[in-house]
Chain A
Amino acid sequence: MHKNNPHGGSYDMSALSQALPELAPHIITGQKGQLTLDFANPLAIKALNKAILKKDYKIDFWDLPDGYLCPPIPGRVDYLYHLNDLLPQSNDRSAHVLDVGTGANLIYPMLGSRIFNWRFVASDIDTIAVNCAKQLAKANKGLDKQIKVRQQTDESKLFANIIGKDEYFDITLCNPPFHASQEDAMAGTERKNRNLKRNKDKRGSAIKSDNQKDHLNFSGQSSELWCEGGELAFIKKMINQSAAFKEQVGVFTCLVSKKENMAAITASLESQNVASFKFVDMSQGNKISRFVAWTYDNEWLLN
């Protein structure tokens, strides 16, 4: 965890359920007598998210239509703290940030505007996700002024159609679809559920299954979970398309879930003639994740 991430310890279940009484029925007593949650129950995870957002981030309303990805907050917050480290500390205005593929959950823009007072543009290809995200911003007083949600209409494009002619973004972020196919995504979900059942008390795992019995109906719409060629093809596409926006973006970043993709990403960045790039490791418990950051700006040294 980033040193400033407040979610390092275990969840304070009693304080959280005080903030959100609907969490209380999901709280169970763990093997060591501690208060915990049934992390395999998606309703419990949703209630936990609502409680954290309410208690720690003054986000009174957060919810999702069935079937959309329910993100674990601590890991999302970690990425944002690491992004903040990359921003010039001399900035006297709040950073302008682009979230590529925000999903229905709008989680990064909501957290980023509350923690750092950043201003966001959030995009997505999925119309329902865009619709939900727009309304979540409106339903929380103040957020609609800081977050603009835009529909991507061309699924081959990541920045075009979204970044306006005269717009500048200090940084972009992205949690890419990391599976190569729907079958692959489902197998991953099943694996995760098996591990969860083995290891019920471990925290911080992403719960994606809304319905344990019907894996076809797991949370996460197709565009949130998979794309042709998987994560690597997606990130390469992003690197390629970033060149056209090098004057309009300070630093591009994207999560990389598969370590074995790092070599190919490095090669792609080198052939793209970026000014500098780096991989930033993040760890949450025993889970290691990372993101890649690159810039075309020679003044902006990432190493």
Chain B
Amino acid sequence: MDKQTMVTREQSLPHRQEEIKVASKHAVLGNVTQGPWPTHAQKAYFALGCFWGAERLFWQQPGVYSTSVGYMGGFTKNATYEDVCSGKTAHTETVMVVYNQELTDFWTLLEAFWKAHNPTQGMQQGNDVGTQYRSAIFWTDDMQKMFAEKSLSLYQDNLNKAGMGKITTEIKKAKEFYFAEDAHQQYLHKNPNGYCGLSGTGIDF
């Protein structure tokens, strides 16, 4: 079937019993990957194409405490990378970002998010094609929702001025985050010459 069409719940792959286990320490930042989190920590979830490059973008931001890659927004519990690549889970490749609210804020992360990819491409990002590469912001509280929506309309104005298309980024409440396999965590640190398809529009936020 067409990988750019979202599967319905009925069409999606069945759940898996077993959770994927990942290393407890971040390979770059050295902090924990699954909590417990320090005070003033806040979570945000961003999807902007292949999660290898997306995760690196966020671990490089000042004030970010930890990052992990995984799957969100679809149906299949504990999906594997293979499941997601089949296009039959409806998940999108997602980065969980844990940031220290005293050192940075969600707006700063949003700025990095919009500038780093092309949010007008629908069910693909660059050469990576399929629903698993769609752009999304999954918010964890009302404040994130309000600023995410505002940032979208601001960036849309900027894109309009440059004659670019409509933003297709989904802004939704965060659901369960399923960790991707450990080999994908901090992938570009483990594989410095690895693939990174991340490329922005060149339009400033």
Contact = CB atoms under 8 A, between A and B. Distances in A.
B107 A132 contact: no
B85 to A, nearest CB: 36
B105 A66 contact: no
Interface stretch (A133-141, A190-198, A220-228, A274-282): A133-141
A61 interface: yes
Main secondary structure of the interface of A (DSSP, over half): helix
B150 A63 contact: yes
Contact of B150 (A131, A134, A139): A139
A44 interface: no
A135 B142 contact: no
A135 B150 CA distance: 11
A131 B142 CA distance: 13
State which size class the interface on A falls in.
10 to 19
Report, as a range, how many residues of chain B touch the other chain: 10 to 19
Interface string A122-156: 00000110011011001100000000000100000
B148 to A, nearest CB: 11
A127 to B, nearest CB: 6
Nearest to A141: B154
21 contacts: A61-B150, A63-B150, A65-B142, A65-B143, A65-B146, A127-B40, A128-B143, A131-B101, A131-B143, A132-B143, A134-B105, A135-B105, A135-B106, A135-B143, A135-B147, A138-B107, A138-B108, A139-B107, A139-B147, A139-B150, A139-B151
Contacts of B147: 135, 139
A66 B101 contact: no
A242 B146 CA distance: 37
B141 A65 contact: yes
Contacts of A63: 146, 150
A151 B102 contact: yes
Interface in B86-126: 101-102, 105-108
B151 A131 contact: no
B104 to A, nearest CB: 10
A285 B142 CA distance: 35
A139 B106 CA distance: 11
Interface string B122-164: 0000000000000000000111001100110010000000000
Q: Which 10 A-B pairs have the closest CB atoms?
A: A135-B107, A65-B143, A65-B142, A138-B107, A63-B146, A61-B150, A135-B147, A134-B105, A131-B101, A135-B105
A131 B147 CA distance: 11
Most chain A beta-carbon neighbours within 10 Å: one of B40, B106, B147: B147
